[in-house]
A and B are shown apart, each in its own frame.
Chain A
Amino acid sequence: DGGITQSPKYLFRKEGQNVTLSCEQNLNHDAMYWYRQDPGQGLRLIYYSHIVNDFQKGDIAEGYSVSREKKESFPLTVTSAQKNPTAFYLCASRLTAGQGWDTEAFFGQGTRLTVV
């Protein structure tokens, strides 16, 4: 079955540590996204990518980094520079606007990151 998988489901980070959240998709989608969701809040875009080896900052990129070395994978690193990283992180993928701008996004199940 095609889908998008995030891991781990729960992640605990100590102060000053970098952590990496995994996102893998087998939907053959070129576009991938990372969002942050705080309790009772909407989605805020961290980074997005529309092709391998290229990505763009979203609205809250500070303290985060990404890579896109393979079409299927778009890992997110939460660095120690991110002062308030406790949140629910969601990864999504879809066709690019050029391929199908009217198509929907598919989301992973999310990773809940907690600073301890």
Chain B
Amino acid sequence: GNSVTQMEGPVTLSEEAFLTINCTYTATGYPSLFWYVQYPGEGLQLLLKATKADDKGSNKGFEATYRKETTSFHLEKGSVQVSDSAVYFCALTVNRDDKIIFGKGTRLHILP
């Protein structure tokens, strides 16, 4: 079946540190891959996405590259800010299935 595995949290970093949150997937066919962010007390919002192998999604300084050979979609940011503190969800969708497959989420704390 389809599944997403992302690193356990919480992740705590100092401001301006480099961030990586790992995400790997298992899917039949060729999935589309997403990162969503959830700020405290709010719903999820799309951070970035990639729809085919080797695509790089980017937004607000965050990047993730769709790696088919390693079935990965790791989220990176070169210099995090306190305002990046949130929960990050990796997700996938596949053709012919309306379900969205989410990872369990990774809570990120950025210290000033």
Contact = CB atoms under 8 A, between A and B. Distances in A.
Genuine A/B complex:
yes
A110 B42 contact: yes
B94 A101 contact: yes
10 contacts: A42-B89, A42-B102, A43-B105, A94-B100, A101-B95, A102-B32, A102-B51, A105-B36, A106-B46, A110-B41
A31 interface: yes
Interface string A100-116: 01111111111000000
B69 interface: no
Contact of A110 (B32, B43, B93, B94): B43
A50 interface: yes
A31 B89 contact: no
B104 A107 contact: no
A90 B94 contact: no
Interface of B: 32, 34, 36, 41-46, 49, 51, 89, 93-100, 102-105, 107
Given A40-B107, A42-B104, A102-B32, A107 B99 contact: no
Interface residues of A, number: 26
Contacts of B103: 42
A33 interface: yes
B25 to A, nearest CB: 14
A72 to B, nearest CB: 17
A53 interface: no
B97 A97 contact: yes
Contacts of A103: 32, 93
Contacts of B42: 109-110
A22 to B, nearest CB: 14
Most chain A beta-carbon contacts within 10 A, residue among B41, B45, B100: B100
Contacts of A41: 104-105
Given A43-B44, A104-B34, 17 more contacts: A31-B98, A42-B89, A45-B99, A90-B44, A92-B44, A94-B100, A97-B96, A98-B96, A101-B93, A101-B95, A102-B49, A104-B49, A105-B100, A106-B46, A107-B36, A109-B43, A110-B41
